[in-house]
Homo-oligomer: A and B are copies of this chain.
Amino acid sequence: MARFFIEEKSISGDKITVTGSDARHIGYSLRMKKGERIVFCREGTDYISEISKISSDSVICDIKEIIPCKSEPNVNLTIYQSLPKSDKMDLIIQKTVELGVHRIVPFISARTISRPDEKSAEKKIIRFNKISESAAKQSGRGIIPEIGEIKSFEECLEDAKQSDIKIICYENGGAKLSDTLFSNAKNISVFIGAEGGFEYSEIEKAKSAGFTPIYLGERILRCETCPIAITAIIMNLTDNLS
């Protein structure tokens, strides 16, 4: 069934009204007709709906069933990613969204090379969120993972404060990821460095903030490989890839 993300204002009682580009997509591109079914999705909830009225600029549907979206993991994984160079962040967003990330927060740490000015940062965040939306649609997610504003390392430590599990990937050593006890964890925060990794003082700060440094072994992973691998492994360890 075709899937569309909707905003809260589109839902009124047992009806959903879609306008704009989604309405054109339903009517023109998909050539859908009255009586056909669409899944509308909002914040992890699927609204199985039937088209009751379709015009050139709006589609009105009756909600037939409301169910939790089956594709959403039962953990909220936030990846805090030190901003890498060139378009590596695009790949990180696309792949981690497919794999089930909940939110991505780019940050600047001591060794971050990519340091966009305010204007170019704004543009980046808009593009990042578009990539997230597109990957969320393609992979059948129940939410569009948010790509937050670029923060400082310290702001991210503060942001992750309430998480049940706090991990920082450190290329110079740390615990095994598989020794982390994920049972009963709901909110998981993972910090990942950019090309230059983290300074020791940052690891110390993170440890003081309750983070566990994690070592991913002897092979040197490119900075964009690490978040993809971590997301896959955590989704597997928390039984969210089956």
Binding site for B on A (CB under 8 A): 70-71, 91, 94-95, 98-100, 138-141, 176-178, 215-222, 225, 228-230, 232-233, 235-237, 239-242
Contact = CB atoms under 8 A, between A and B. Distances in A.
A220 B139 contact: yes
A219 B99 contact: yes
A228 B71 contact: no
Given A218-B70, A225-B95, A242 B176 contact: yes
A128 to B, nearest CB: 18
A130 to B, nearest CB: 17
A217 B69 CA distance: 13
Given A228-B229, A232-B232, A219 B141 contact: yes
A228 B99 CA distance: 11
Given A98-B222, A222-B138, A233-B236, A216 B242 contact: yes
Given A232-B228, A232-B229, A233-B236, A219 B98 contact: yes
Nearest to A136: B219
A139 B99 CA distance: 23
Nearest to A70: B218
A222 B136 CA distance: 12
Contacts of A217: 71, 235, 240-242
Contacts of A94: 222
Contacts of A98: 219-222, 225
Contacts of A219: 71, 98-100, 139-141
Contacts of A220: 98, 138-140
A220 B91 CA distance: 16
B100 A241 contact: no
A99 B215 contact: no
Contacts of A242: 176-178, 215-217
